[in-house]
Structure 1
Amino acid sequence: MLKQLLFTLVAAFLFFVPKTYAHTYLDSTNPTDGATITEEIQKIDLNYSGKIEEGSIFKVLASDGAEMAMESFIINDSVLTGTLASPLPNDTYKVEWDSISEDGHPLSGSFSFTINAVASDTNNETVPGADTSKQIASDVTKIVDTLKTETDSEDGNSIWSLIIVITIILLIITVVTIYSYKRTYVKRKKNK
């Protein structure tokens, strides 16, 4: 009676153990399924529960069905990394993957994500002298950082020299900016 009960329990256990535990499965992805990414990406990672074999690949499809060009695939034990030929532009993408587990079992599936990267400043109107002002502001920042470093290591009297230098630099920026705007205003007035 005890042998029959033990045999029945073992048989029931083997019957109810899911077959998926015997095979490799997709554990996680980067980007994750359903994610919205706010920066450009050029690599996609698929992480499996076990080792996968050569020949495992995936394709990336844009919302209009266009297949994005892949540059390479790298398999490192249980991670499949695909590098795209160029960063993905803003759109919704579907990744369709086909992989081969270590035991030869074929795996397939899909997931999707959205790219919504912040666009760079697209203001086409440029003000003459703006680049000069930006360059001067960049130079001022460098000078101030250098002076701060030197001031931190010297007496408190050198703080006045820092204030004087910053004041002079701000005056130069103001003069250059006013001159640039006046020059632009005169040119526009002549063109009318």
Structure 2
Amino acid sequence: MTKHVLPAMVAMLAMATSALAHSQVEDMRPADGGILQTVEAIELRFDAPMRITAITLTGPDGDMAVTRETGLDPVTAFRALPPDAMPAGAYRVDWRGLAADGHPMQGTFGFTLTD
């Protein structure tokens, strides 16, 4: 009987661990550290639904307005549009959100625009 208990315990532990895992960023565009000439969109992809509650784009002249294409519903793919005119320089994207389990999440990534 004990030879069946161990595999069952391992399976239960694996399920419990995956149930406690929070959403993770799988991809971001522009890529962190990227050097680009233009940016058409700011995109985040998650492995589980995430409700993005705030997103900020900071450029060489300070904070810039972004237009959310994705609403406040939990999604695995978030998209926002930067302003049309973006001068060359360093940019930072800060985001905050809530994972499907209610856990608050946040992240930052940056890129550089060239002439």
TM-score by length of 1: 0.48
In the alignment, does 2:50 pair up with 1:57?
no
- Which structure's relative contact order is higher, taking Cα pairs within 8 Å and 6+ residues apart? 2
Find the counterpart in structure 1 of residue 105 from structure 2: 107
Give the whole-Å Cα distance in 1 for the aligned partners of 2:58 and 2:19. Answer: 27
SS at match of 2:111: strand
Q: Residue 69 in 1 paired to residue 101 in 2?
A: no
- Cα deviation for residue 108 of structure 1 reads 0.4
**Alpha-carbon deviations, 1:95-154, whole Å to 9, x = none?**
11101222222110111111113xxxxxxxxxxxxxxxxxxxxxxxxxxxxxxxxxxxxx
Deviation at 1:25, TM superposition (A): 1.1
Aligned to 2:26: 27
**1:91–1:116 CA contact under 8 A, matched in 2:** yes
**1:46 paired residue among 29, 44, 47:** 44
Backbone CA RMSD of aligned residues: 3.1
Question: What 5-or-longer segments of structure 1 have no aligned partner?
Answer: 118-192
Distance 1:20 1:33 in 2: 28
Please identify the structure whose Cα radius of gyration is greater: 1
Contact 1:36 1:114 in 2 (8 A): yes
More helix by share: 1
Aligned residues: 112
Structure 2: gaps of 5 or more residues:
none
**Residues 47 and 6 (structure 1), Cα distance of their counterparts in 2 relative to 1, 3 Å cut:** same
Share of identical aligned residues, percent? Answer: 25
Give the TM-score taking structure 2 as reference length: 0.75
Structure 1 residue 91: Cα displacement: 0.8
Which has more strand, going by share of residues? 2
SS at match of 1:100: strand
